[in-house]
Chains A and B, each alone.
Chain A
Amino acid sequence: MDRNAKLEILADAAKYDASCASSGAKSTRKDSRLGSTEGMGICHSYTPDGRCVSLLKILLTNYCIYDCQYCVNRVTSDTPRARFTPQEVVQLTLDFYRRNYIEGLFLSSGIIVNSDYTMEQLIHVARTLREEHGFGGYIHLKTIPAAADELIEEAGLWADRLSVNIELPTESDLKKLAPEKKKPTITGAMSHIRQRRDEIQSDRKAGFKAPRFAPAGQSTQMIVGATDTPDAGILRTASELYGDHRLRRVYYSAFSPIPHADARLPGLAPPLMREHRLYQADWLMRFYGFNVDEIVDDAQPDLSLEHDPKMAWALRHREFFPVDLNTAPREAILRVPGIGTRNVTRILKMRRWKRIRIEDLKKLRVVMKKTSPFVLADGHNPGLKDLERLDLGRKVQTKHRQLTLFDAAGSALTGEV
Chain B
Amino acid sequence: MITRSAKFFEEWRAIARELLQSGIRPDDIRWHDRWQKTNTLLFADEESDDLPTREQIAKPFTVSPKFLLLAKKVAAHRDPQRWELLYRVLWRMTHGERHLLDVSSDDDVLSLTKMDAAVRREAHKTKAFVRFRSVQRDGEEYFVAWHRPDHYVLRLTAPFFSRRFPEMRWTILTPYESATWDPTAKELQYGDGVPASEAPSPDELEDLWKTYYGAIFNPARIKLKAMRAEMPMKHWPTLPETKIIPDLLADAPRRVQTMISQTEGFAMSATNFLPETKTLETLAHAAASCEGCDLYKEATQTVFGQGPASARVMMVGECPGDQEDLQGEPFVGPAGQLLNDVLQTVGIDRDLVYITNTVKHFKWEPRGRRRLHKKPGAREIAACKPWLEAEIDVVKPDVVMCLGATAAQAIIGRDFRITRQRGEFVETDWSPLTIATYHPSALLRAPDPDARANMQSAFEADLQKVADKLNGHEAA
Contact = CB atoms under 8 A, between A and B. Distances in A.
B133 interface: yes
B217 A49 contact: yes
Interface in B209-229: 209, 211-227, 229
Contacts of A146: 415
Contacts of B223: 48-50, 405-406, 408-409
B357 to A, nearest CB: 18
Interface in B344-401: 378-379, 382-383
A199 interface: no
B230 A49 contact: no
Contact of B413 (A11, A47, A179, A364): A179
Interface string B145-178: 1000000000000001001111110000000000
Contact of B103 (A50, A350, A405, A410): A350
A397 B71 CA distance: 39
Interface string A72-83: 000111100000
Interface residues of B, number: 76
B398 to A, nearest CB: 21
B104 A405 contact: no
A96 interface: yes
Interface stretch (A117-125, A151-159, A255-263, A284-292): A255-263
| Interface size range on A against B | 35 or more
A52 interface: yes
A353 B102 contact: yes
Contacts, number: 223
Given A45-B213, A179-B413, A76 B378 contact: yes
B282 interface: no
B129 interface: yes
Interface in A343-360: 346, 349-350, 352-354, 359-360
A362 to B, nearest CB: 9
B13 interface: no
Interface string A188-210: 00000000000000000000000
Contacts of B229: 406
A410 B230 CA distance: 9
A180 interface: yes
Contacts of A264: 271
A312 interface: no
B215 A7 contact: yes
A264 B266 CA distance: 11
B208 interface: yes
Given A7-B212, A100-B132, A406-B225, A46 B414 contact: no
Given A36-B164, A272-B221, A4 B103 contact: no
Interface of A is mostly: loop
Nearest to B258: A259
B267 A48 contact: no
Contact of B216 (A34, A53, A260, A346): A53
Interface stretch (A12-20, A213-221, A382-390): A12-20
Given A35-B164, A76-B382, A46 B272 contact: no
Interface in A1-41: 3-4, 7-9, 11-12, 14-16, 28, 32-36, 38-39
Given A46-B226, A47-B217, A50-B226, A353 B167 contact: no
B252 A4 contact: no
Q: Which 9 A-B pairs have the closest CB atoms?
A: A50-B223, A409-B226, A50-B226, A47-B217, A11-B215, A360-B105, A263-B267, A75-B378, A363-B105
Given A66-B414, A101-B131, 9 more contacts: A28-B163, A34-B164, A42-B128, A45-B128, A67-B414, A76-B378, A101-B209, A272-B221, A408-B226
18 contacts: A4-B211, A38-B163, A39-B160, A45-B128, A47-B213, A48-B227, A49-B217, A49-B219, A52-B230, A76-B383, A96-B208, A98-B143, A99-B209, A175-B429, A260-B263, A353-B99, A408-B223, A410-B226
